[in-house]
Amino acid sequence: MLEHLKEQPADKILMLMQSYREDPRENKVDLGVGVYKDASGNTPVMRAVKAAEKRIWEDQTTKAYTGLAGDPAYTSGMIDLVLSGAAPKERIAAVATPGGTGAIRQGLELIRRAAPDATVWVSAPTWPNHPSIIKFLGMKMGEYRYFDDSTRGVDFSAMMSDLSGISTGDVVLLHGCCHNPTGANLSDAQWDEVIALLKEKGAVPMVDIAYQGFGDGLDADGAATRKVAAAMDECLIAASCSKNFGIYRERTGILMAIARDDKEAKIAQANMNFLNRQNFSFPPDHGARIVSTILGDPTLRADWEAELEEVRLSMLGLRQQLADELRQLSNSDRFDFIAHHRGMFSQIGTTPEKVETMRQNNGIYMVSDSRMNIAGLNAETVPLLARAIVDARV
């Protein structure tokens, strides 16, 4: 049986990590994998997470199964964190999932059950797992233009022009904040225009929010998702706790479905529970319990928010330092976009050849589409990267 399996293409980012590890140069810089790192290159366990884990260890009396939808304290805490009352709870169905990826997978499966012929539209470019899961599920997929390689901002007129061609009942996948891989985001007014277009077309938005708190702050980063939730009759939201709680390996995410009314929300809930049952039965609980412990305790929550803010500001500081450095070295403002991008990534918009040149000549490791993880930098490595970018004539 197993002899019939085909080789799988190697994952680009994992291959990059491997060659980084094998590179003997001392001043190499890893801007590949999407994990937050502090100035010394560590991905720390957040203080509030440690405290919550201690409390769970002391207080937890059972490891028996939770419900199929996960622990209600987690789902309701996350609904508040992401939506902050933007839609009435009776209209919201929610299930805990293994990470944001699990939420996207369950959301797409829900769409496929409800509307098997719908096309799911993704931004070009987007996080590669989006198209990969859509194709794996045998669903129809379309792409809307998003990034302008020359300005390194959103090509909004191209985006709107492509979205104006979609059909009633299609699904549009949007990044709630901190677009991955580009770092370029819609303005508030542009979100309004997208929402108006989706309403006019009778399309359903699916918002992927994986970096709430990494861009402009917890509330500012939730604003677009809340706008969508408040305006649309129906929408899906896939949220991840991997980044903002730093609990990547605990696999903690949530899928929310906002239905037209409470009756439809109950049916959506039953279908989401069913899908969890088919795919993994009960969702993982440890990460979810960390999150609900933090969100439910004012002291832990304040400490988590403060540390998340430190993380956010450190990335903004690195962005500014890099943009300043490039301004000086290139004697132009061509790279100011780096300071305007938000989140963990920026796509500098150059060719795979130039990315490879920077790797060979300067030990700079970024993904071949020129996405760089800003958190992979520190004050000492920013000048090395700036020099590499200028020398490679990006």
Q: Which of 96, 103, 239, 243 is catalytic?
A: 243
Neighbours of 86 (CB within 10 A): 18
Establish whether 121 is a catalytic residue. Answer: no
Q: Taking the complex as a whole, how short is the minimal distance between the CB of residue 242 and ligand PMP, in angstroms?
A: 4
CB closer to ligand PMP out of 34 and 142: 34
Distance (Å, rounded) from C-alpha 182 to C-alpha 347? Answer: 4
Among 32, 100, 246, 363, binds ligand PMP (CB under 6 A): 100
- DSSP lists the bridge partners of residue 174 as 207
Give the count of residues interacting with ligand PMP (CB under 6 A): 13
Establish whether 208 is a catalytic residue. Answer: yes
Kindly state whether residue 240 participates in binding ligand PMP, applying the rule CB under 6 A: yes
The stretch among 62-70, 98-106, 282-290, 386-394 that binds ligand PMP (CB under 6 A) is 98-106
Kindly state whether residue 180 participates in binding ligand PMP, applying the rule CB under 6 A: yes
Tokens 């001392």 sit on residue:
26
Helix (H, G, I), strand (E, B) or coil at 171: strand
Cα diameter, the chain: 63
Helix (H, G, I), strand (E, B) or coil at 255: strand
Identify whether the C-beta of residue 225 lies closer than 8 Å to the C-beta of residue 83: yes
Distance (Å, rounded) from C-alpha 168 to C-alpha 119? Answer: 10
Mark residues 160-179: x for contact with ligand PMP by CB under 6 A, - for none. ---------------x----
Among 29, 30, 34, 78, binds ligand PMP (CB under 6 A): 34
Looking from the CA of 36 toward its CB, the CA atoms found within 13 Å total: 28
The stretch among 43-51, 77-85, 93-101, 151-159 that binds ligand PMP (CB under 6 A) is 93-101
Q: Which of 210, 257, 375, 392 is catalytic?
A: 210
Q: Which of 208, 238, 239, 268 is catalytic?
A: 208
Among 133, 210, 229, 272, binds ligand PMP (CB under 6 A): 210
Identify whether the C-beta of residue 194 lies closer than 8 Å to the C-beta of residue 160: yes
Establish whether 210 is a catalytic residue. Answer: yes
Tokens 């987690």 sit on residue:
74
Cα angle 315-52-47, degrees, rounded to a multiple of 5: 35
Q: Taking the complex as a whole, how short is the minimal distance between the CB of residue 237 and ligand PMP, in angstroms?
A: 12
Q: Taking the complex as a whole, how short is the minimal distance between the CB of residue 248 and ligand PMP, in angstroms?
A: 6
Phi then psi for residue 142, to 5 deg, are -130, 165
Mark residues 115-154: x for contact with ligand PMP by CB under 6 A, - for none. ------------x---------------------------
Kindly state whether residue 362 participates in binding ligand PMP, applying the rule CB under 6 A: no
Q: Taking the complex as a whole, how short is the minimal distance between the CB of residue 390 and ligand PMP, in angstroms?
A: 28
Kindly state whether residue 242 participates in binding ligand PMP, applying the rule CB under 6 A: yes
Helix (H, G, I), strand (E, B) or coil at 69: coil
Establish whether 127 is a catalytic residue. Answer: yes
DSSP letter assigned to residue 208: E
93 contact partners, CB below 8 Å, separation of at least 6: 256, 257, 259, 265, 266, 268, 269, 272
Identify whether the C-beta of residue 243 lies closer than 8 Å to the C-beta of residue 78: no
The stretch among 96-104, 309-317, 347-355, 371-379 that binds ligand PMP (CB under 6 A) is 96-104
Helix (H, G, I), strand (E, B) or coil at 23: coil
Kindly state whether residue 70 participates in binding ligand PMP, applying the rule CB under 6 A: no
Footprint (CB under 6 A) of ligand PMP, residues 248-267: 248, 253
Distance (Å, rounded) from C-alpha 182 to C-alpha 345? Answer: 6
Judged by the rule CB under 6 A, the positions of this chain that interact with ligand PMP are 34, 99-101, 127, 175, 180, 208, 210, 240, 242, 248, 253
Residues catalogued as catalytic: 127, 208, 210, 243
